[in-house]
Structure formats: structure tokens, C-alpha cells
């Protein structure tokens, strides 16, 4: 019996080697993360927070929009903008909410759309939602905002 144990694999040694290897990989990963964070501070943020708070609010707002829960969509969008006021999609969502709630683009919606253009001069998203919304409500917009929309169109064509 004793001879069979010596001929077979040494499971204790294998388990110890595996544990040491796993520990070494974990230490290496933490070292790389710390080093990355030293040179790229956002790297440690990404590792620590997989989903930024603004994006959590954006997801909740989009879900509320789908369910036509306008008060919740507005609250989540405003929370998103409080965390990150340069999110042009959030400003667009506020303009869309104005239309959903009142049937047309009012002063609040115009201001929100203007803020969307101030946050990002060009809608580079693949769906072009802001451009389509702005064109659909062009007659309700002041001349300065129409000029921004025209500039965006010209820039994207070239």
C-alpha cells in the first residue's frame, strides 16, 4: 500500500503548488492594478467601480422611459446630471420628457436640448437620436439653437 502512494501523484505537493500559483497571480494582478492606478488614476476607478453611478441612473431613467414613468425618468435623469452634467444624452432625455409630458417642446425642453448641444457640439452616436429629435422639433427652437443644429449637420457631412 505504501508503495502505491509513492508511485501515484503527490496531491499535497500539487495542491500547495496550485495555491502558490493562484496567490502569485492574485499578487501580480493587484500589483498591475496599483501600477496602472499610479500612472492612470482612472484605471483604479474602473477596477473598483465597474459601473459608474451616472450610468446606473441612466439605465434606470431609460427603463422608466420605456415604462412611461415620467416622474421616475425625470428624477433618475436629474440624478445622472448631478453626477455628470456633461452627459448630452441625459439632457436630450429631459427634452424628450418635456415632449412626452406636455405634447410639445416647451421652454424646459428647449433649454435641455440647448444644454445637450453645449455638452457636446456633435452627436457622434450611431443612432443620431439627438439630430432626429432636433430636426423633428426645429420649428419650436430659437434661432441660435437652429444655427447649432445646422453647424452640426454641415460638420457631419464633411
Q: Residue 76: give its domain's CATH number.
A: 1.25.40
The residue among 77, 89, 101, 68 whose CA lies nearest residue 133 is: 89
Same domain, 112 and 141: yes
Question: Span 129-141, mean pLDDT?
Answer: 91
- This prediction has a pTM of 0.65
Angle at 134 between CA 119 and CA 93, to 5 degrees: 60
Sign of the Cα torsion 17, 18, 23, 26 reads positive
Same domain, 32 and 57: no
The total number of structural domains that make up the chain: 2
Angle at 102 between CA 100 and CA 105, to 5 degrees: 80
Separation of alpha carbons 47 and 69, rounded Å: 33
Domain assignment of residue 23, given as a range = 9-48
Residue at 135 is within a domain: yes
Residue at 34 is within a domain: yes
Same domain, 98 and 84: yes
Which pLDDT value is given to residue 44? 47
Residue at 59 is within a domain: yes
Residue at 110 is within a domain: yes
- When pLDDT is cut at 50, 70 and 90, the band that residue 14 belongs to is low
* Cα dihedral: 139, 143, 144, 148 (round 10): 50
Same domain, 44 and 111: no
Amino acid at each position: 500500500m505504501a508503495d502505491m502512494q509513492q508511485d501515484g501523484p503527490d496531491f499535497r505537493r500539487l495542491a500547495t503548488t496550485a495555491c502558490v500559483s493562484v496567490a502569485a497571480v492574485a499578487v501580480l494582478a493587484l500589483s498591475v492594478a496599483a501600477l496602472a492606478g499610479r500612472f492612470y488614476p482612472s484605471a483604479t476607478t474602473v477596477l473598483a467601480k465597474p459601473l459608474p453611478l451616472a450610468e446606473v441612473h441612466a439605465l434606470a431613467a431609460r427603463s422608466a422611459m420605456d415604462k412611461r414613468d415620467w416622474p421616475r425618468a425625470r428624477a433618475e435623469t436629474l440624478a445622472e446630471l448631478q453626477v455628470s452634467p456633461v452627459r448630452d444624452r441625459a439632457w436630450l432625455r429631459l427634452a424628450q420628457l418635456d415632449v412626452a409630458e406636455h405634447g410639445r417642446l416647451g421652454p424646459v425642453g428647449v433649454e435641455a436640448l440647448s444644454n445637450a448641444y453645449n455638452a457636446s457640439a456633435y452627436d457622434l452616436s450611431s443612432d443620431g437620436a439627438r439630430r432626429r429629435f432636433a430636426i423633428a422639433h426645429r420649428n419650436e427652437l430659437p434661432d441660435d439653437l437652429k444655427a447649432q443644429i445646422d453647424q452640426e449637420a454641415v460638420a457631419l457631412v464633411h
